[in-house]
Amino acid sequence: MFTHIRKLPTTAHSIEDPLWLLRGAPGRPGRRGRLYKTGDLVRYNENGSLTYICRKDDQAKVRRQRIELGEIEHALRSQDSVDEAIAILQGDSKENAQISGFITIHGEVDEQDRLEEDQESEQQNKFWEVQFDSEIYSSMEMVQTHDIGRDFVGWSSMIDGKKFDHQDMNEWLDDTLKCILNGRTSMGNVLEIGTGSGTILFNLTQSFQTYIGLEPSEKAVDFVARSVARHCQLRDKVRMIKGAATDIPRLASSTSILPDIVVINSVLQYFPSREYFLDVIKDIIHLGSTKSVFFGDVRSFALGKEFLTMRAIQGHGYLRQEDLRRMVLNMQKSEPELLVDPAFLTGLSERMPGLIEHVEILPKIMRVTNELSCYRYDVVLHLASADVQYSIRHISKYDWVDFVAQRLDHKRIEALLDPMSGQGQ
């Protein structure tokens, strides 16, 4: 709901000449004005009156007191035994309104189940290690010295199996490096998990003080170590270690490892499970020195079906609708990689309160249109730190613009984003 006012000290909670006000309603001419956002959701009736529906935010009013339901949910989730929590307002009148909280408890994992999960994770890690050593990195020894860092060994399309165009890969890498640096000239101490042939390392040599690379492929470790040995300025700054992400606690106890930033680029899809992924994050947090974690080239679960549909059409051409649906379903069932929904990642700050300050979801900004730019994204976890104060603007879920639900076209989206149009807020 909006209240029409003449003057307002601040525009933070107002909207100027919204499109629906300019357009008017049946029997009501449009008009201009600055409206104050009250936070109430109402329906505009044909006679010009308003019918109150509910609050747009998470506020509830109980015995004349406004209460933030989100704060209650946050307090519930902060308990060690609580997994998820929701608080809702119940009651059919203001007099008997009450707030009820619902929670789910962390499932108790049987010791035998946990052991089996660990064994499965180890087997899958071993599978990928063999796969990379025997196939993906089989041509690593043929990489020329001048190509190191931009050799893109093993990078081929999941759609047609062809190698990606070298220029397209350069554009992808430039965007990745820009996201990692985030405007900084120095990253301090870096830990990279899954170094590959050194794509990140050899393009950021002037930006770190020390670098530790943790890589499960022995071929890749040897290749990068030999390449580093040829650079005098890197010999004392870079250390390569053969190991997986789960080796972080072992490294922390046996050697000095205090990274300011952890880089995990195009690796998350090879993690065995969501639980494995969460354990890795916790291990990084426990290092105590890390301020941010970069996950690059994350495959989107939200766009997984669309990607498989394109893959099926590309490989088989014309397909009947039922055949296409069945083929996509079969590919989903046999998917060997881990896909992650951005919504799961943005929820990590609530899942780990006090540990993760903020989560950034970054779409790939590339001119080329391919599976890397359309179906993958980058993520930055900003960890809670007494040394760093973040300026974060929280946006209510009701303020998000739903392109499909509101039937917007690109021109109207541009108008919403343009502050000079009177619609962009």
Q: Of residues 81 and 95, which shows the higher confidence score? A: 81
Sequence-ordered list of residues with C-beta below 8 angstroms from that of 61, at least 6 positions apart, any chain: 67, 94, 97
Residue 39, Ramachandran bin (φ over 0: left; ψ between -120 and 50: alpha; else beta):
left
Range of the domain at 356: 137-301+339-395
Residue 102 falls inside a structural domain: no
Res 160: pLDDT: 87
Is 262 within 8 Å of 252 (Cβ atoms)?
Answer: no
**How many CB atoms within 10 Å of residue 322?**
8
Partnered with residue 14 across adjacent β-strands are 36
Query: Which letter does DSSP use for residue 64 in this model?
Result: T
What confidence score (pLDDT) does residue 265 get?
Answer: 97
Asked if the structure places residue 215 within a domain, the reply is yes
Examine the pLDDT at 97 and tell me if it is beyond 60.
Answer: yes
pLDDT of residue 401: 77
- 334/148 Cα distance (integer angstroms): 34
Give the number of other CB atoms < 10 A from CB of residue 95.
Answer: 7
The amino acid sitting at 251 is L
**CA separation for the pair 237, 210 (Å, rounded):** 5
pLDDT digits (tens, 9 = 90+) for 57-68: 667 777 777 787
Residue 109 has pLDDT above 60, yes or no: no
Q: Check if the beta carbon of residue 109 is closer than 8 Å to that of residue 193.
A: no
Q: Give the number of other Cβ atoms within 10 Å of residue 292's Cβ.
A: 21
Structure tokens at 95: 């007099």
pLDDT (mean) for 335-339: 93
Name 242's bridge partners.
Answer: 215
Within-domain flag for 100: no
The predicted model gives 255-282 an average pLDDT of 92
- The CATH number that applies at residue 347 is 3.40.50.150
CA-wise closest residue to 226 among 134, 141, 152: 141
- Asked if residue 34 has pLDDT above 90, the reply is no
Percent of the chain residues past pLDDT 90, beyond the cut: 43
Over residues 376-384, mean pLDDT: 96
pLDDT at res. 73? 83
Residue 194 in any domain: the answer is: yes
Residue 176 falls within a domain, yes or no? yes
Beta strand spans in 178-318 (E): 188-193, 208-215, 238-242, 261-265, 292-299
Mean pLDDT of the region 335-357: 92
Q: Which comes out higher in pLDDT, residue 422 or 371?
A: 371
Q: Bigger pLDDT: 85 or 93?
A: 85
Look at 44 and 151; give whichever has higher pLDDT: 151
Q: Does position 95 have pLDDT exceeding 80, yes or no?
A: no
Mean of per-residue pLDDT scores for the chain: 84
Residue 108 has a pLDDT of 59
Domain annotation covers residue 327: no
Count how many domains the chain has: 1
Per-residue confidence at 238, pLDDT binned at 50, 70, 90?
very high
Q: Is the pLDDT of residue 9 over 60?
A: no
Query: Tens of pLDDT along 159-176?
Result: 888 999 999 999 999 999
Residue 356 has pLDDT above 60, yes or no: yes
Name the band, by pLDDT with cuts 50, 70 and 90, for residue 56. low
pLDDT of 255: 74
Return the pLDDT at 39.
72
User: What pLDDT score does 172 carry?
Assistant: 97
The size of the chain, in residues, is 425
pLDDT at 194: 95
